[in-house]
Amino acid sequence: MFDAEQQEEAEGADAMSTKSMKERIIEDWNWRSREYTGRSDMYLQTERQQRLWKETLTGLLPARGEERLDVLDVGTGPGFLALQFASMGHTVTGLDLSPSMLEIAAEKAAVLELPCSFIEGDAESLPFPDHSFDVVANRHLLWTLPNPGRAIREWVRVLKPGGRVLVMDGDWTNKQLTYKQKMRIFMGHSLTFFTKGKIPWKGKGRGYDDLAHMLPFSGVDPGKVIALMEAAGLNGVREHDVQHLLDADAESFPLAYRWSFIDSHRRFIVAGNKTGSI
């Protein structure tokens, strides 16, 4: 069974190695920022997909009437969540370690004329005072972090009482695939190889190939996320199924991508609340 306390001790590990890991992580995301953005841009293509995302995100926000919320998107990348929250009228800050990613996110916000601030920083040590945000959200970030427990405690620290943490992720290294899923992955990879002459996984996780064994979450298990969020003091923590968003988005994806990646990983959002007063 996953032990959140043991995880925290392991994260106390040596600060120097964490520092050099961070440098490599920045280099890796800078290097693949444009390629990653190309894939990210395959989502939210149609009005129906955009509407479904908006409805789902709205349903997961803390209930504060029509109020404009202060939202932090940690590990914002090209601004996938940040831009959606901004288009819903909230006040949004997107934070990322990678300057190249932040540049792309800012370009997108400018094109869409959405007021959004982007700031360089570390999800595990945030440059904000306590009680700054109503919502701390992130998507596909946890698997990249050397110290996910420390990061979640930081998110809780900067959250206002009554605020909510939203973690969206997937079981990327799920090994328990059905025969049908394995066949689809094989067909997807073959299709990419024969149509593009490219080995699908080659060069993708350049830095993470070496780092993966040092990252506690290379495939994110919702049960472990729940344990870490509860250990960080959040209440009412539970998993929400968001497979319907993926199914809708996948309708617009190229077949090879859909087969080799999308259908084989379960996606979820884990949400938890901060109670108490300042």
Ligand X SMILES: C[S@@+](CC[C@H](N)C(=O)[O-])C[C@H]1O[C@@H](n2cnc3c(N)ncnc32)[C@H](O)[C@@H]1O
Residues that bind ligand X (CB under 6 A): 25, 29, 40, 75-77, 80-81, 95-98, 101, 122-124, 139-141, 144-145
Nearer to ligand X (CB atom), residue 75 or residue 191: 75
Closest to ligand X by CB, 187 vs 212, is 212
DSSP 129: -
Closest distance of CB 139 from ligand X, Å? 3
In the complex, minimum distance from the CB of residue 25 to ligand X, in angstroms, rounded to a whole number = 5
Is the separation of the CB atoms in 137 and 81 below 8 Å? yes
CA neighbours within 13 Å on the CB side: how many for 247? 6
Considering the complex, state which of residue 3 and residue 120 has its C-beta at the smaller distance from ligand X.
120
Distance separating the N- and C-terminal Cα atoms of the chain: 34
Residue number of the CB closest to ligand X reads: 77
Alpha-carbon Rg for the chain, nearest whole angstrom, is 18
Closest CB 120 distance from ligand X, rounded Å: 9
CA-CA distance, 197 to 192, in Å (whole number)?
7
Residue 90 or 139 with smaller CB distance to ligand X: 139
With contact defined as beta carbons under 8 Å apart, do 150 and 124 qualify? yes
Instruction: Quote the least distance from Cβ 45 to ligand X, whole Å.
Output: 15
Shortest separation between residue 65's beta carbon and ligand X, angstroms: 27
The CA–CA distances, whole Å, from 275 to 163, 227, 229, 250 equal: 8, 17, 13, 37
Nearer to ligand X, 81 or 92 (CB): 81
Q: Which two tokens mark 29?
A: 């995301």
